[in-house]
């Protein structure tokens, strides 16, 4: 816990250094606020001595003594309110700004990291870190200025009470000290159990997810009772841990709640003795009492900030894993050619493995002519998709090179490869944007270009039937599209960029064969004859290719026309047979 607090403070310190002015403003407001508390206590004490006791016990007339007293209290309230506004405005600016900074920094950095890094990450996890942890890592900034002010007030209050009377000062010191120690101690004592609790919340959610995903199987084999038993186990463990944490947290809380009350009683009693000794006036006792009673809630902020610091640190550690990752993509200096013709593609001795796995591709060599249409065919998991993703430099080969017109992909400047090569993946991904924006992805294309791309992708007819045509919002929260329609929009997205190499990774699987034929024929006859490489399953689409590359177990075992392979390669006909029923 010592390390946790030290590293937590370091994290908070960095956040403050990011926006020192906002923090200073918030602390200034907080200081106004806490000084209002101290002033109110002194004023109430003076009013007790100068107004209340003389009038109520001395029988003196209140005359013109009352009005200033009442106005003074009201003025202090106003001053206090201004302090609250400054503190809250400053603190919330600081917190929200820091949170947004984190989110932005997380995303920007993820965009610099290489595919091997991304491959090892779970997208859900990355999302959770960006959504939740960026908030959790900064929430401590909300109460921090308040707590800073309170710490100042604690010192001020001790000085004030001690200056009234040393004995009362001693009572205040013991009372404040015990509360802060108890609160910080409880954070130290319970933190581990609380972390465990959070993990158990995750366990319950994981079992529910898995069990519901497999609901059909569970029902079909009558395993409901087994599943309920499995869920109860994690659910009851969560229950026990929750009780463990609550029992301790609430016990500590009870202690830190009675200490200030006992302290106040002690002030009254000790005050009685000191008044009798003639050391102080009743009003001064009231000042000490009032001050300590107004402090009994704010003082808890110090423990609260301790807690929040530990949470912030846990979140910061998850954030740091991303923003401090240094597995960046490296680019060369070479600019794209700007030529408007299909490119020649070649691979030499290409070997590739996903991080920590056996090689998926071994020693691949191939050569594709400019403007050629090539189908890549092979059994599942034979390396087809991996091979074409290397052509788009989504990954780099472990050994060997991939070249476009003799230029190594790794020598291209940033965004150079994507200006010559686009890939349409197996699963079409649509953004929550209009059809038009889904095609342009925010880059500039003329209306004619967009239209032409949609035409080539055979997408225009159904797009025009959507409620707002090209301006219809699609994607998760937008209009529902069929799989085939989504694939055609994804295709238009690639075509509009007039790539010199167009890669279709089983990108037409949900499109009717006749439409698919129209698309592939259209691409051949388009004014920009791209080189096309497609991973294909259907015989109909394979026959449209000039040439077939047959892949099995990470190796190219043959290339040639469809008819040639059918005649010479038994594996090839087996694969087409297996696909035919799909």
Q: Considering only residues 224-253, where is the footprint of other proteins by CB under 8 A?
A: 224, 226-228, 231-232, 235-236, 238-240, 242-243, 246-247, 250-251, 253
Minimum CB distance to other proteins, residue 83 (Å): 8
Identify residues 432-471 at the interface with other proteins (CB under 8 A): 432, 441-443
Is position 349 an interface residue for other proteins (rule: CB under 8 A)? no
Could you please report the per-residue DSSP string of 466-514? STTGGG-B-STTS----HHHHHHHHHHHHHTT--SEEEEESTTTTS-HH
With 0-12 CB in 10 A as exposed, 13-18 as middle and 19+ as buried, what is 482? exposed
Tell me the window of 103-111, 145-153, 305-313, 521-529 that interacts with other proteins (CB under 8 A). 103-111
Cβ 207 to other proteins, closest distance in Å? 9
2 binds other proteins (CB under 8 A): no
Question: Smallest distance, Å, CB 158 to other proteins?
Answer: 20
Q: Are 432 and 478 in contact (CB under 8 A)?
A: yes
- Cβ 5 to other proteins, closest distance in Å? 25
Backbone angles phi, psi at 458, to 5 degrees: 55, 35
Q: Does 543 bind other proteins (CB under 8 A)?
A: no
Structure tokens at 163: 């200056």
Selected range binding other proteins among 180-188, 271-279, 311-319, 516-524, rule: CB under 8 A: 271-279
In angstroms, the CA 488 to CA 465 distance is 15
Of the ranges 161-169, 171-179, 291-299, 525-533, which one interacts with other proteins (CB under 8 A)?
291-299
CB of 2 to other proteins, least distance (A): 28
In Å, what is the CA distance from 109 to each residue of 102, 126, 330, 343?
A: 10, 12, 14, 32
Q: What is the 3-state secondary structure (H, E, C) of 97-126?
A: HHHHHHHHHHHHHHHHECHHHHHCCCHHHH
| Among 209, 212, 211, 202, residue whose Cα is nearest residue 230 | 211
Q: CB 484 → other proteins: shortest distance, Å?
A: 13
- The one among 48, 309, 373, 458 contacting other proteins by CB under 8 A: 48
Is residue 314 close enough to count as binding other proteins by CB under 8 A?
A: no
510 binds other proteins (CB under 8 A): no
**How many Å apart are CA 535 and CA 542, to the nearest integer?**
9
Terminal-residue alpha carbon distance, the chain: 58
Q: Which of residues 367-426 bind other proteins (CB under 8 A)?
A: 379-382, 392, 394, 415, 418-419, 421-423, 425
- Residue span binding other proteins (CB under 8 A) among the ranges 211-219, 342-350, 355-363, 397-405: 211-219
Tokens of 272: 């009685």
Count of C-beta atoms within a 10 Å radius of residue 88: 17
Query: Which stretch, 198-206, 304-312, 353-361, 457-465, contacts other proteins (CB under 8 A)?
Result: 198-206
The minimum distance between CB 76 and other proteins, in angstroms, equals 7
Distance CA 244, CA 263 (A): 30
DSSP state of 341: S
Closest distance of CB 535 from other proteins, Å: 12
CB 387 within 8 A of CB 551: yes
Q: Which of residues 106-125 bind other proteins (CB under 8 A)?
A: 107-108, 110-111, 115, 118, 123
Which of 9, 163, 198, 254 is the binder for other proteins (CB under 8 A)? 254
Residues 6+ apart with CB under 8 A from 402: 345, 346, 347, 350, 390, 391, 393, 408, 409
Strand order in the sheet with 407-408: 359-368, 345-353, 399-404, 407-408
Contact with other proteins (CB under 8 A): which of 74, 155, 159, 563? 74
Query: Is position 576 an interface residue for other proteins (rule: CB under 8 A)?
Result: yes
CB of 86 to other proteins, least distance (A): 8
Q: Which of 10, 13, 20, 56 binds other proteins (CB under 8 A)?
A: 56
């Amino acid at each position: 816990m010592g390390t946790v607090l030290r590293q937590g403070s370091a994290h908070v310190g960095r956040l403050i250094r990011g926006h020192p002015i906002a923090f200073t403003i918030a602390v200034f407001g907080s200081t106004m606020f806490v000084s209002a508390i101290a002033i109110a206590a002194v004023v109430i004490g003076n009013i007790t001595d100068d107004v209340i006791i003389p009038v109520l016990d001395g029988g003196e007339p209140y005359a013109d003594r009352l009005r200033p007293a009442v106005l003074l209290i009201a003025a202090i309230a106003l001053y206090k309110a201004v302090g609250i506004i400054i503190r809250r405005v400053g603190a919330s600016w600081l917190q929200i700004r820091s949170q947004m900074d984190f989110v932005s920094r997380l995303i920007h950095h993820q965009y610099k990291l290489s595919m091997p890094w991304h491959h090892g990450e779970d997208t859900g996890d990355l999302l959770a870190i960006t959504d939740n942890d960026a908030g959790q890592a900064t929430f401590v900034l909300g109460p921090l200025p308040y707590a800073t002010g309170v710490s100042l007030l604690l010192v001020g209050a001790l000085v004030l009470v001690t200056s009234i009377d040393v004995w009362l000062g001693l009572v205040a010191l013991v009372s404040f000290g015990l509360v802060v120690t108890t609160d910080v101690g409880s954070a130290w004592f319970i933190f581990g159990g609380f972390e465990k609790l959070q993990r158990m919340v995750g366990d319950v959610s994981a079992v529910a997810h898995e069990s519901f995903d497999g609901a059909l199987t569970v029902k079909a084999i009558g395993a409901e009772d087994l599943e309920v038993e499995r869920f109860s186990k994690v659910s009851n463990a969560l229950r026990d841990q929750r009780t463990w944490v609550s029992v301790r947290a609430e016990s500590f809380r009870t202690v830190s709640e009675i200490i200030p009350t006992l302290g106040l009683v002690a002030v009254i009693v000790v005050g009685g003795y000191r008044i009798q000794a003639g050391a102080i006036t009743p009003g001064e006792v009231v000042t000490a009492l009032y001050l300590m009673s107004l402090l009994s809630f704010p003082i808890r902020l110090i423990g609260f900030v301790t807690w929040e610091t530990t949470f912030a640190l846990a979140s910061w550690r998850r954030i740091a894993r991303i923003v401090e990752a240094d597995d960046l993509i490296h680019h060369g200096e070479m600019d794209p050619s700007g030529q408007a013709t299909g490119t020649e593609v070649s691979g030499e001795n290409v070997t590739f493995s996903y991080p920590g796995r056996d090689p998926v591709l071994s020693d691949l060599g191939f050569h594709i002519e400019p403007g050629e249409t090539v189908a890549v065919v092979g059994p599942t998991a034979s390396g087809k998709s991996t091979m074409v993703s290397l052509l788009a430099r989504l990954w780099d080969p472990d050994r060997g090179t991939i070249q476009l017109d003799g230029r190594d992909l790794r020598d291209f400047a940033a965004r150079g490869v994507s200006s010559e090569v686009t890939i349409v993946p197996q699963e079409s991904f649509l953004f929550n944007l209009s059809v038009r924006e889904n095609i342009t992805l925010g880059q500039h294309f003329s209306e004619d270009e967009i239209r032409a791309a949609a035409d080539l992708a055979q997408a225009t007819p159904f797009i025009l039937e959507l409620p707002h045509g090209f301006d219809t919002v699609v994607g998760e929260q937008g209009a529902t599209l069929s799989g085939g329609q989504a694939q055609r929009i994804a295709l238009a997205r690639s075509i509009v960029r007039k790539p010199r190499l167009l890669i279709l990774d089983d990108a037409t699987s949900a499109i009717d064969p006749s439409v698919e034929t129209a698309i592939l024929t259209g691409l051949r006859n388009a004014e920009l004859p791209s080189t096309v490489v497609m991973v294909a399953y259907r015989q109909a689409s394979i026959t449209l290719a000039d040439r077939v590359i047959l892949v099995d177990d990470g190796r190219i075992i043959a290339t040639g026309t469809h008819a040639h392979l059918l005649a010479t390669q038994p594996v090839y006909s087996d694969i087409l047979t297996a696909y035919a029923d799909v």
